[in-house]
C-alpha cells in the first residue's frame, strides 16, 4: 500500500545520481523531484533522464513545494573539503519544516546498534559496524568500512573505499579521501582534509590538510 510520501533532492550533480539510484531501489517514496538553482524547470538534464524523474525548479520554490506535500527533502550535493553549502541547505530545510531523512542503499550493512542522526547518505556496499555514531548530513560513500565504535561528526564525507578501524573519531566537516585507511583509535579534527590513499597512523589536528603513507600534515 502506498505511503504517499514525497521527496525532494537538492542538487542535480554527480552525487545526486548515487542518491537517486539508492532511493529508486526502494518503495518508500511515491514521488521524487529534483531542485537545483542552476537548471530551469524544462531542463531535464542527465540525472533526471537517467532515472526518469524531473527537475521541479530552483531553491526559491522550496516553500511552495513543501505546501504541495513534499514533506521530505534530502541534500544530494556532495562535498570535497567545503561543507558550507550543505550546512546552509540543511538549516534552510529545517526552517521551512521539511523532514530530512536518511538514505541508506539496500546493499549497505548497518548494525542495529548504530546511532544515526538525520540527513545521512550511506552508499552501496558500505558497512557501519556496532555502536558507531554518524552525525547529521554525513556521507558514508560506496564500499566504506566504518568499524565498531567509530564517531563520525556532522557533515563529514567518508569517500569511496575508506576503511576506518575501530574507535576512530572524525570531527565535523572533515573529508577523508578515497581509499584511505585510518588506524584504530585515531582522532581526526574538524575541517580537515585527508588526501586519497593515505594511511593514518597518528592523530591529525583540525583545519589542516594531510596525506601520505604514513599520513602527515602539510602546509598548503
CATH (domain of 161): 2.160.10.10
pLDDT in tens, 40-69: 544 555 554 564 457 888 889 999 999 999
Output the pLDDT for position 27. Answer: 87
Residue 179 belongs to domain spanning: 102-212
Predicted local distance difference test score (pLDDT) of residue 220: 64
Q: Are residues 72 and 140 in the same domain?
A: no
Of the three residues 77, 101, 125, the one that is the final residue of a domain is: 101
For 133, the 3-state DSSP assignment is strand
- Could you tell me if residue 217 is inside a domain? no
The CA distance from 102 to 120, in Å, is 5
Let me know: does 219 contact 202? Beta carbons within 8 Å: no
Which of the 8 DSSP states describes residue 195? P
Last residue of a domain, which of 49, 81, 101? 101
- Positions of the chain with pLDDT under 50: 1-2, 41-42, 48, 51-52
Same domain, 29 and 85: yes
Distance CA 74, CA 120 (A): 9
DSSP H helices in 31-148: 45-51, 62-67, 84-96
The CATH number covering residue 19 comes to: 3.40.50.20
pLDDT score at 64: 95
pTM: 0.93
| pLDDT reported for residue 1 | 39
118 and 195 share one domain: yes
Q: Is residue 219 part of a domain?
A: no
Query: What phi and psi values does residue 84 have, to the nearest 5 degrees?
Result: -60, -45
| Pair 139, 80 in one domain | no
Enter the DSSP assignment of 59.
G
Element (H, E) at 128: strand 127-128
> What positions carry a catalytic annotation?
148
Our count of domains for the chain comes to: 2
pLDDT value of position 208: 96
| Domain contains 218 | no
CA distance 199 to 91: 34
**pLDDT at position 125:** 98
pLDDT score recorded for residue 108: 98
Note the pLDDT tens digit of each residue in 158-173: 999 999 999 999 999 9
Amino acid at each position: 500500500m502506498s505511503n504517499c510520501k514525497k521527496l525532494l533532492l537538492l542538487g542535480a550533480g554527480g552525487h545526486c545520481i548515487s542518491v537517486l539510484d539508492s532511493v529508486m531501489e526502494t518503495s518508500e517514496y511515491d514521488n521524487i523531484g529534483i531542485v537545483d538553482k542552476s537548471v530551469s524547470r524544462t531542463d531535464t538534464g542527465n540525472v533526471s533522464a537517467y532515472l526518469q524523474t524531473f527537475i521541479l525548479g530552483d531553491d526559491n520554490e522550496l516553500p511552495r513545494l513543501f505546501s504541495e506535500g513534499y514533506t521530505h527533502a534530502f541534500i544530494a550535493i556532495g562535498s570535497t573539503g567545503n561543507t558550507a553549502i550543505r550546512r546552509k541547505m540543511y538549516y534552510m530545510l529545517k526552517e521551512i519544516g521539511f523532514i530530512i531523512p536518511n538514505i541508506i542503499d539496500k546493499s549497505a550493512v548497518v548494525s542495529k546498534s548504530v546511532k544515526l542522526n538525520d540527513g545521512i547518505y550511506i552508499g552501496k556496499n558500505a558497512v557501519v559496524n556496532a555502536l558507531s555514531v554518524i552525525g547529521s548530513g554525513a556521507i558514508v560513500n560506496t564500499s566504506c568500512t566504518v568499524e565498531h565504535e567509530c564517531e563520525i561528526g556532522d557533515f563529514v564525507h567518508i569517500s569511496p573505499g575508506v576503511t576506518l578501524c575501530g574507535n576512530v573519531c572524525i570531527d565535523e566537516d572533515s573529508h577523508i579521501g578515497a581509499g584511505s585507511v585510518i588506524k584504530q583509535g585515531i582522532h581526526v579534527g574538524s575541517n580537515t582534509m585527508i588526501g586519497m590513499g593515505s594511511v593514518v597512523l597518528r592523530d591529525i589536528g583540525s583545519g589542516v590538510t594531510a596525506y601520505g603513507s604514513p599520513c602527515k600534515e602539510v602546509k598548503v
